A and B are shown apart, each in its own frame.
Chain A
Amino acid sequence: MEKTRNNRAWFMVLPVVALVAFSAVLPLMTVVNYSVQDTFGNNVFFWAGTEWFTQVLESERMHDALWRQFLFSAVILAIEVPLGVAVALCMPKKGFWASVCLVLMALPLLIPWNVVGTIWQVFGRVDIGLLGWTLANLGVDYNYTQNPLDAWITVVVMDVWHWTSLVVLLAYAGLQSIPQAYYQAARIDQASRWKVFRYIELPKMKGVLLIAVLLRFMDSFMIYTEPFVVTGGGPGTATTFLSIDLVKMALGQFDLGPAAAFSLMYFLVILLLSWVFYTVMTNSDKAGKGA
C-alpha cells in the first residue's frame, strides 16, 4: 500500500502536544528557569549560569545522599528480586490457594505509602510497637530513632514488605505462561530442579523480571514518603535519600536555585540509568536471537 503523506495530520496530535506542554514541559521549564537564576526576594531574579549546578555537584551533602540512594536501591533490588522469584516459585499454580495467595500478595501494594510508613513507624517503636517492644524484651538493643543501622534495617525491611509482592506477581505471571510441555520434557530429559529453574523458568521469566527490576529501581531511587514518615531522614542524615534531601533543600531551606539544579540532575540520573538497564537487557536478548 502506498503511504499517504499529508502534513495536516500534525493538527491531529496538537491536543496531545498542548496537554503534555501544560502538564510536563512547562512545569519542567520553570524548574530549569530556577536552576539558572538567583534571587534576593521580591521576585527579582539574576542570571546565575551554572553556579548552582557546580555548587550541587561539589557539595558533600549531595554526594552522601547519592551514595546512600545507590546503596538503598542496590540493597532492596538484591533482596526483593531473588525473594520475589523464590516466593513466586513456591506459590500454587492453580486452585483455591492460588487465588488466596494472589490476594494476599496484592494487599501490601494497595496500602497508601504514608500509611505504610505510619504502620512501620508504630510497629518499630520500642514503647508501644509490637516489633520494637518484642525485640526490646528479647534483649535486643533496637532503636531506629537513634541507631543508624537500625534505621536502615527498618527502612529496608519496610520496603521489602511493601514491594516484594510486585516482583512476586510479575514473576508468577511469567511462570504461568510457561507451557506444561517444558516441564514434561525436562522430566524426560532427567533435568534436576535447579536445571529446570536455570534453563526453563529463568529464561522464560527474563522479560517480566526486566520490568520488575526497572520498576523497582526507579521507584526505590525516588523513594520519599515511607522513610520520611518513619525516620524523617534520620538519625542525623543516615536515611536522608535524594528526594528527602531535595525536599529539605527546596522547602525547608527554600534554596530554590540549588534545589532546581539538584532535581534536574536527579531526573537525568534516573533517565540515564533506566535507559542503561533497558538497553543492556534488551541487547542481550537480541544477541541471543541474532546468533
Chain B
Amino acid sequence: MAKITLDNLGHCYGGRPANRDDYQLKPMSHVWEDGAAYALLGPSGCGKSTLLNIISGLLIPSEGRVLFGEQDVTRAPTAKRNIAQVFQFPVVYDTMTVYDNLAFPLRNRRAAARYVDIRVKAVAEMIGLADRLDERAQGLTADAKQKISLGRGMVREDVSAILFDEPLTVIDPHMKWELRTQLKALHREFGHTMIYVTHDQTEALTFADKVVVMSDGEVVQVGAPAELFERPAHTFVGYFIGSPGMNVLDAEVEGSMAHVMGCALPLARRYGRLSGRVQIGVRPEFASVAETGPGLPVSVTRVEDVGRHRVVRATIGGVEVNAIAQEGQSVPENAEWLRFAPEAVNVYADGWLVEGEAA
C-alpha cells in the first residue's frame, strides 16, 4: 500500500497539444492519500476513465509522472504496479470455477498452494460466495460475476490500490446497494486505497471519503461530500451535484451586495473587484419563495412533489431557478419573490469560486 502522487500529469491522445483545450486530461497535480476511499465523479467523456487507466498503467500519459510511494511508475507496466482494477462489465474467466478465478492472480504470481487456499477462502467469505466455490463462473448472474471481479481485486494482500471503473453499471438496483455497502465495509476493514469512478453522484457521495469532481478533462474540486454540497469550487460542481442543481445567475458584485437583474441581494461576505464573468450560485435548499419582497421577482412555473420535499420551479428573465420547500414548509399560492439565505450565496468569477473576506 502506498500513497499515489500525480505530478503535473497530463494526457493528449495525439501527443502534441497546441493549447490547453487539446488535452483529454489537462495537466494537474494531485495526491491520493494511502488508505482513503476516493470517488472520481464526472459526466461521460470528462476524462475520468483516462485518468484511471493512467493510474493502472493501461495508458502511458503524454506528460508528467505517476508515483506510487516514492517510486516513479509512469512507464511501468500494469503488472509491475501491484494494483487491482474492477471493470464496468464483470470480467470472469468463464471456463474456470469460482475458486480458480479467485486464485488466478495469486497463482500467476507463483504463490504457494497453501497460501492461495487460505486467501481464496477468506475472500470468498467476504464477498459471500464461500458456498459456491466449485461452481463454474459462466453460469453465474451478473452481480455474482462482478463479486468475483471484486474478489480477484481483494485476493492479493499487498495491492497498492484498488481501482473501480463504474463497477455497478450492469448490476440490478437492489444489488447495487448491497455491493456498495459491502465495498464500504471492505474498505473499513482492510484499509486499501480505493478509487471509484462513477458518473452517479449518489454512488460517489455514499462511497467516498473524498470526491474528486472532473469536468472536461480537468479536476474542478476535491472535497468531502459536505464541502461539495456547501461550497462548490466551480459552478459545474454546483449543478452537477445536487438534485436539482445549484441556481446560477449572472450578477454584479460590489462589496457585500450583489445585483441581479437590477435587484440588490445581501451577501454574508465582502468581495473586492472581480474580473471576468461574475455569477452567484445558491443551492435550491437555501432558496425559498414568498408573496412579498425583498428578493428577486420570479414567475413560478410549477411545484413538484417529490416525496420528502417539494421543488418549486420558476423563471427569472428566462433563466430557470429552483427552490426546495422542506416538509411542513408551505409554498404560498401566488408567490412572486425568490429569497436566498445570504450565508449560502457563493460568488463565482469565470466559473471559479471566489473566497470573500468576512464582512
Contacts and interface: CB of A to CB of B under 8 A. Distances in A.
Interface of A: 179, 181-182, 184-185, 187-192, 195, 199-200, 203-204, 288-291
Nearest to A192: B108
A187 B84 CA distance: 10
B89 interface: yes
Q: Which 4 A-B pairs have the closest CB atoms?
A: A181-B87, A185-B91, A190-B108, A189-B105
Contacts of A199: 93, 95-96, 104
A190 B109 contact: yes
B299 interface: no
B60 to A, nearest CB: 13
B78 interface: yes
A186 to B, nearest CB: 8
Interface band, chain B: 20 to 34
24 contacts: A181-B87, A181-B88, A181-B89, A181-B91, A182-B91, A185-B149, A185-B152, A187-B58, A188-B78, A188-B79, A188-B85, A190-B79, A190-B105, A191-B104, A191-B108, A192-B108, A195-B108, A199-B93, A203-B93, A203-B94, A288-B136, A288-B139, A289-B138, A290-B139
A171 to B, nearest CB: 17
Contacts of B272: none
A184 B149 contact: no
A289 to B, nearest CB: 4
Prevailing SS type, chain A contact patch: helix
Nearest to B83: A188
Given A199-B96, A288-B95, 6 more contacts: A188-B84, A199-B95, A200-B93, A203-B94, A289-B136, A291-B135
Contacts of B95: 199, 203, 288
Contacts of B83: 188
A99 to B, nearest CB: 22
B322 interface: no
A181 B96 CA distance: 18
Contact of B89 (A179, A190, A290): A179
B293 interface: no
Interface string B57-78: 0100000000000000000011
B288 interface: no
Contacts of B56: 184, 188
A199 B107 CA distance: 14
Contacts of B109: 190
A36 B184 CA distance: 78
Interface in B138-171: 138-139, 149, 152
A288 B138 contact: yes
Contacts, number: 61
Given A289-B138, A291-B135, A187 B94 contact: no
Contacts of A191: 104, 108
B354 to A, nearest CB: 42
Among B58, B77, B109, chain A packs the most CB atoms within 10 A around the CB of: B58
A43 to B, nearest CB: 61
Among A181, A191, A204, chain B packs the most CB atoms within 10 A around the CB of: A181
Interface string B221-244: 000000000000000000000000
Contacts of A290: 139
Interface string B94-111: 111000000011001100
Contacts of A195: 108
A14 B91 CA distance: 49
A184 B58 contact: yes
A188 B81 CA distance: 9
Nearest to B104: A189
Nearest to A287: B136
Interface in B13-58: 56, 58
A126 B60 CA distance: 56
A289 B149 CA distance: 18
A179 B92 CA distance: 12
Contacts of B135: 291
Contacts of A289: 136, 138-139
A181 to B, nearest CB: 4
A25 B186 CA distance: 67
Contacts of B91: 179, 181-182, 185
B163 to A, nearest CB: 9
A174 to B, nearest CB: 13
B83 to A, nearest CB: 7
A192 B78 CA distance: 13
Contacts of A189: 104-105, 108, 152
A187 B88 CA distance: 16
A216 B58 CA distance: 39
A188 B165 CA distance: 14
B159 to A, nearest CB: 10
Contacts of B96: 199
A205 to B, nearest CB: 12
Interface string B260-275: 0000000000000000
A242 B260 CA distance: 92
A122 B350 CA distance: 78
Contacts of B138: 288-289
A190 B78 CA distance: 8
Among A192, A195, A291, chain B packs the most CB atoms within 10 A around the CB of: A291
